[in-house]
């Protein structure tokens, strides 16, 4: 898909395929459709970027009115100087893990509704997630939390980071109880202090945090192929990727159980 940059034909081709996967999995459309188009300027006075998020739901068994948003961005940086930036880890990996979780929860329905979201145009300023938060297709007050995935398929030390417990302490016991049973080395951090080591605003969860919606972000440390034309599928680590996706799905199950006791926002 030539690197799936926002506003390219290949980005559209990827989106069409993702929509067909949501339909095949049996997710429910949101407001009657899976594809939610938006237009948004990167900054005041700039030309609008046109994009679209892919949204689908599994309805909650017992409390369908409260929603957990499970998300990943599906765009990447495209093609530069004739070189394709495939973005296998960033963020085909998170996108694929969201598809796998959608299939899992479609056949094992959660207590609360899960909204699965694949954001467009993350790479040029979290635009898809910001467009969703600014013009939400579900009431923002109904969203209990955002679980965002960005780069989950490789780490030479077997480490997966979970950020969010510092700004959102209700997440800490859920994550800490997962650490000893997780099949990856789950490490909490990268969620305070600002600057490069604080990942709060470095992917789509930043849009939710800015709207005071609790988040957990899952991702790995940068690697030598980060934002390089060498971020290719043969460099992902299938065993780690599988265990990371299983760990994140386990977290979503714990979150779904915990949200029951959370006060309404
Ligand atoms: Zn990314």
Q: If you search the block for the tokens 């030479």, which residue do you land on? A: 156
Per-residue pLDDT of the chain in tens (265 residues, 90 and over written 9): 999 999 999 999 999 999 999 999 999 999 999 999 999 999 989 999 999 999 999 999 999 999 999 999 999 999 999 999 999 999 999 999 999 999 999 999 999 999 999 999 999 999 999 999 999 999 999 999 999 999 999 999 999 999 999 999 999 999 999 999 999 999 999 999 999 999 999 999 999 999 999 999 999 999 999 999 999 999 999 999 999 999 999 999 999 999 999 999 8
CA gap 265, 257 in Å, rounded? 17
Measured in Å, residue 260 CA sits from the centre of ligand 1 at 31
Measured in Å, residue 173 CA sits from the centre of ligand 1 at 27
Measured in Å, residue 208 CA sits from the centre of ligand 1 at 16
Measured in Å, residue 209 CA sits from the centre of ligand 1 at 17
Measured in Å, residue 60 CA sits from the centre of ligand 1 at 29
Measured in Å, residue 11 CA sits from the centre of ligand 1 at 15
The domain locations on the chain are 9-38+50-259
CA gap 225, 248 in Å, rounded? 23
Measured in Å, residue 261 CA sits from the centre of ligand 1 at 32
CATH topology (fold) of 9-38+50-259: Aminopeptidase (3.40.630)
């Amino acid at each position: 898909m030539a690197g799936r940059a926002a506003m390219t034909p290949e980005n559209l081709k990827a989106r069409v395929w993702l929509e067909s996967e949501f339909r095949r999995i049996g997710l429910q459309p949101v407001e009657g459709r899976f594809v939610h188009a938006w237009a948004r300027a990167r900054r005041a006075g700039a030309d609008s970027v046109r994009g679209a998020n892919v949204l689908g739901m599994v309805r909650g068994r017992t409390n369908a009115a409260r929603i957990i948003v499970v998300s990943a961005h599906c765009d990447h940086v495209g093609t530069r100087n004739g070189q394709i930036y495939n973005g296998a880890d960033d963020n085909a990996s998170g996108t694929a893990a969201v598809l796998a979780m959608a299939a899992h929860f479609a056949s094992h329905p959660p207590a609360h509704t899960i909204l699965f979201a694949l954001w467009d145009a993350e790479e040029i300023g979290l635009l898809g997630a910001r467009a969703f938060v600014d013009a939400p297709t579900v009431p923002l007050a109904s969203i209990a939390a955002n679980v965002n995935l960005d780069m989950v398929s490789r780490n030479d030390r077997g480490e997966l980071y979970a950020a969010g417990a510092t700004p959102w302490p209700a997440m800490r016991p859920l994550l800490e109880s997962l650490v000893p049973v997780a099949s990856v080395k789950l490490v909490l951090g990268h969620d305070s202090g600002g600057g490069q080591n604080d990942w709060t605003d470095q992917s789509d969860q930043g849009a939710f945090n800015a709207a005071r919606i609790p988040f957990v972000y899952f991702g790995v440390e940068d690697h030598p192929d980060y934002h390089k034309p060498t971020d290719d599928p043969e460099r992902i680590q299938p065993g780690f990727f599988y265990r990371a996706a299983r760990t994140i799905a386990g977290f979503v199950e714990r979150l779904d159980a915990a949200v029951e006791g959370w006060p309404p926002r």
